[in-house]
A and B are shown apart, each in its own frame.
Chain A
Amino acid sequence: MIRPDPGGGNRGIRNRSWRQRESDPGTAPVFSLRGAGVRFGATWALEGVDLEVGAGERVALVGPSGAGKTTLLSLLNGSRRPTAGRVAVLGRDLATVRPSELRHLQRRVGTVHQQHHLVGPLRVVHNVNAGRLGEWSLLEAVRSLISPTDVAAAEAALARVGIAEKLYERTDTLSGGQQQRVALARVLVQRPVAILGDEPISSLDPARAEEVMQLLAGLAGDAGRALVVSLHAVEHALRHCNRLVGLRQGRLVFDAAAAEVTPVMVEELYRIDQSTDEHGEGAA
Chain B
Amino acid sequence: MLAFAGSLVHAGLGSQGTLNPAGWPQLRRFLAAAAHPATSPEFIRLTLDATLTTLAYAVLGTAVAVGIGVVGGVAISESWWRRPPSGRPRRTGRAGEVGPWLASRLVVSLPRGVHEAVWGLALVTILGLDPLVGVLAIGVPYGAVTAKVYAELLDETPTGAFEALRTAGVGRLRALTYTLAPLAFPDMLSYAFYRFECAIRGAAILGIIGAGGLGFQLALSFQSLRYDEMWTLIYALMAVCGLADWWSTALRRRSALPPRTIAGLGDVGDSEQRLTGATRSALGRDRRLHASAAVVVALVVVSLWHLGVDVSTLWAPRAQRLASEMAASSFPPDLGVEELARLVVLSLQTLEMSVIAAVVASLAGTAMAFVIAGGVEAEQRAGVLQRVGAGAARGLLLVCRAVPPPVGALLLLFVLLPGPLPGALALAVYNAGILGRLMAEVVENLDPAPARALRSQGASAPQAFCYAILPRTLPRFAAFGLYRWEVAIRETVVVGLVGAGGLGRLLAQQLAAFDYRGATATLAALVVLTVAVDMVSSSVRRALR
Contacts and interface: CB of A to CB of B under 8 A. Distances in A.
Q: Judge A-B direct contact (beta carbons within 8 Å).
A: yes
Nearest to A100: B460
B450 A117 contact: yes
Best-surrounded residue of B454, B457, B467, B472 (most CB of chain A within 10 A) = B457
Given A120-B472, A142-B466, A145-B467, A130 B459 contact: yes
Contact of B467 (A105, A107, A109, A122): A122
Given A115-B449, A117-B449, A120-B472, A109 B463 contact: no
A177 interface: no
A134 B453 contact: no
Contact of B456 (A111, A115, A122): A111
A106 B467 contact: no
Nearest to A141: B463
A121 B475 contact: yes
B160 interface: no
B456 A138 contact: no
B458 interface: yes
Interface in A81-136: 103-111, 113, 115, 117-122, 126, 130-131, 133-134, 136
Nearest to A192: B457
A104 B458 contact: yes
B472 A121 contact: yes
A233 to B, nearest CB: 23
B121 interface: no
Best-surrounded residue of B449, B459, B462, B466 (most CB of chain A within 10 A) = B459
Contacts of A141: 459, 463, 466-467
A20 B114 CA distance: 77
Interface in B464-485: 464, 466-468, 471-472, 475
B83 to A, nearest CB: 39
A280 B449 CA distance: 26
A145 B465 CA distance: 12
Contacts of A120: 472
A79 B377 CA distance: 12
Given A122-B467, A126-B467, A133-B467, A138 B462 contact: yes
A78 interface: yes
B172 interface: no
A78 B456 contact: yes
A126 B464 CA distance: 12
Give the bracket for the number of chain A residues in contact with chain B.
Answer: 20 to 34
A74 interface: yes
Nearest to A121: B471
B455 interface: yes
Nearest to A110: B457
B280 interface: no
A105 B466 CA distance: 21
Interface string B442-458: 00000001101111111
A249 interface: no
A116 to B, nearest CB: 8
B443 to A, nearest CB: 14
B458 A103 contact: yes
Given A110-B457, A134-B458, A118 B450 contact: yes
B450 A119 contact: yes
Contacts of B472: 119-121
11 contacts: A79-B455, A104-B458, A106-B455, A113-B449, A113-B453, A118-B450, A130-B467, A133-B457, A138-B460, A141-B467, A145-B466
* 4 nearest A-B residue pairs (beta carbon): A134-B458, A107-B458, A133-B459, A106-B458
Interface of B: 449-450, 452-460, 462-464, 466-468, 471-472, 475
Interface of A: 74, 77-79, 103-111, 113, 115, 117-122, 126, 130-131, 133-134, 136, 138, 141-142, 145, 187, 190, 192
Given A106-B457, A109-B456, 10 more contacts: A103-B460, A113-B453, A119-B467, A119-B468, A130-B468, A133-B454, A133-B463, A141-B459, A141-B466, A142-B466
